[in-house]
Each structure stands twice: as C-alpha cells, then as structure tokens.
C-alpha cells in the first residue's frame, strides 16, 4: 500500500507562520460514527470566499497517497472551517502525526503546517460539541458514489443468480 510522507522542509514552518501570520488547527474524528471526518479551522487572508477555500485548500496527511480535497467549507473574511474525509483514518482509527495545509494563490503554492491536531473527543470535552462539528455531514454522505453504485450492482447480480438458480430447480 502506498503512503505519503510530509517533508520537514523549511517552507513548512510551525503555525503561526512568521511570514503570513497564519493560524490553524485540525480536529480529527478517529472513532465512532464520524470516523475519518476532519475539521480544519484556518485563517487564510488571501482566500476570499468559502467556495474558493473549498476548491483551493488541500490537506496533506501521512497515510493518504494524495492531498485530500475539501468536502465543504464555511466562513468568510479569510477565516474558514473546512472539512475533509480520510479513509485511512476511518479504517485505522488514529490521529495523523502531522498535517500540512496547501493552497495556490496567483500561481504560487503556499503551505503551512497545522500544529494543533486534536481528537474530536478531547475538543468536545474542553470546548463543547460545536467545536468538533464538521461542516458537510456524516462519513456516509462523503463516500464516493461509485462505491455505492458498485454495491448496488453486486446486490442486483446476486438477486439475478438466485432467481436463475430457483428457476432451474
């Protein structure tokens, strides 16, 4: 199984980023019915709208082969709550060891390292349920539609086989 690593390059400085003054935190649901959902709270003054944040901002975490695309974003004036889903976290039930937020503005890639990676349970206990809510719904809403389509085809095939077997005997 291929996995990604996150380089510890100088360009990935700890938050707050001295050059941009950027801050961020990542709340991870590692277990339970929301396993795999992640909530990124981040200040990105050069990203004007939630739609652009959803489209531009990627999350790199160990265990995922490619950077994760946002599933939804809310916010304005550079302060956003962006949600992601990781099948690796959903299956393994662990917090990522590291996370890097990347986005591109005016043809230049920017990136920051998210330092505050916390479990949803810890955040809920300290700051309440709202602090761990992930925009966009539950994990079942985020699984690719092709997986559901393949499951429906498999069930249909099984039914056809059962009917054909019963018709023969």
User: What strands, in cross-sheet order, belong to the sheet with 68-69?
Assistant: 68-69, 58-60, 100-105, 108-113
Does 83 map to a domain? yes
CB 43 within 8 A of CB 22: yes
43 in a structural domain: yes
More confident residue, 59 or 142: 59
| Terminal Cα-to-Cα distance of the chain (whole angstroms) | 45
Q: Is 36 found in the same domain as 72?
A: yes
Residues 84 and 123 in one domain: yes
Together in a domain, 128 and 50: yes
How high is the pLDDT of residue 133? 80
Q: Are residues 43 and 104 in the same domain?
A: yes
pTM of the model: 0.69
Is the domain of 114 the same as that of 155?
no
Contact between residue 111 and residue 101 where contact means Cβ atoms under 8 Å apart: yes
Number of domains observed in the structure of the chain: 2
DSSP codes, the chain? ---------TTSPBSSPTTT---EEEEE--SSTTTTEEEEEEE-TT--BHHHHHHH-EEE-TT-SSPEEPSEEEEETTEEEEEEE-HHHHHH----S--EEEEEETTEEEEEE--EEEEHHHHHHHH-GGGG--TT--HHHHS-HHHHHHHHHHHHHHHHHHHHHHHH-
CATH number at residue 52: 2.60.40
Q: What is the pLDDT of residue 49?
A: 92
11 in a structural domain: no
pLDDT tens, position by position, 87-132: 889 888 889 988 999 888 888 888 887 668 888 888 888 888 887 7
Q: Is residue 31 part of a domain?
A: yes
33, 99: one domain: yes
Using a pLDDT cut of 70, give the percent of the chain over it.
Answer: 77
Shared-domain flag, residues 74 and 106: yes
Its domain, for residue 55, covers: 24-138
């Amino acid at each position: 199984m291929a996995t990604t690593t996150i380089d510890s390059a100088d360009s990935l400085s700890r938050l707050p980023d001295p050059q941009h003054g950027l801050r961020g935190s990542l709340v991870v649901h590692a277990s339970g019915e929301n396993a795999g959902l992640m909530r990124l709270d981040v200040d990105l003054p050069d990203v004007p709208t939630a739609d652009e944040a959803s489209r531009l901002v990627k999350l790199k975490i160990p265990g995922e082969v490619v950077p994760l695309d946002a599933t939804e974003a809310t916010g304005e004036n550079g302060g956003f709550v962006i949600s992601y889903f990781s099948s690796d976290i959903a299956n393994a039930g662990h917090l990522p060891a590291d996370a890097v937020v990347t986005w591109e503005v005016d043809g230049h890639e920017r990136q920051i390292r998210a330092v505050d990676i916390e479990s949803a349970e810890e955040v809920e206990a300290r700051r309440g349920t709202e602090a761990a809510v992930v925009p966009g719904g539950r994990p079942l809403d985020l699984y690719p539609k092709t997986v559901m389509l393949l499951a429906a085809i498999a069930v249909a095939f099984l039914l056809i086989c059962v009917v054909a077997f019963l018709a023969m005997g």
